[in-house]
Amino acid sequence: LSSISGKYDLVQAFYGGNWHSYPSGDLTTVDQKMGLWIHVTQNCTLTVEGTAPASTTIALTSSSSGWNLMGWPTGGARSVSTALSSIAGKYDKIYTYDAYDATDPWKIYDVSAPSYVNDLTQLVPGKAYWIHMTSSADLVVSY
């Protein structure tokens, strides 16, 4: 988070069925699999550096509430069905938040809804996604 140092006051991640926070809390590391809620105090751009692996595996659980918060760790957008093909049939809903859409910031993809109802059509790098799992599974994301 060094590229936005001094421009945020809270970072939260949800994993293991619990919220984890920084700077006050137990969130001490972040990685490409995590979805983060960052409360910024001024406009800024988070710069991510490193070498992209060939693939990343994100463990998604159906235990507790079944909700998982994940990142989309690739260089490009993919349709929901393509992006989540390795866990097809094991999730039922996905949400993301678009702060730039003041009238309808929550975007949803519901597998049981008609396609015209779903306004979440792609997973995009830099966004976090709430995914509800009906069965635990590993999402394999190839770059």
Taking only the tens of pLDDT, the chain with its 143 residues reads 999 999 999 999 998 888 999 999 999 999 889 999 999 999 999 998 888 888 999 999 998 789 999 999 888 899 999 999 999 999 999 999 998 899 999 999 999 999 999 999 999 998 999 999 999 999 999 88
DSSP-based helix, strand, coil % in the chain, nearest 5: 10, 40, 50
Confidence at residue 27, expressed as pLDDT on a 0 to 100 scale? 96
Confidence at residue 112, expressed as pLDDT on a 0 to 100 scale? 96
Half-sphere CA count of 75, side-chain side, radius 13 A: 9
Confidence at residue 85, expressed as pLDDT on a 0 to 100 scale? 96
Confidence at residue 143, expressed as pLDDT on a 0 to 100 scale? 82
Tokens 């809270």 found at: 10
pTM of this prediction?
Answer: 0.86
Confidence at residue 60, expressed as pLDDT on a 0 to 100 scale? 96
Confidence at residue 48, expressed as pLDDT on a 0 to 100 scale? 84
Confidence at residue 74, expressed as pLDDT on a 0 to 100 scale? 87
Confidence at residue 63, expressed as pLDDT on a 0 to 100 scale? 85
Q: Return all residues near 131 (Cβ < 8 A) that are at least 6 apart.
A: 60, 67, 68, 70, 84, 91, 93, 94
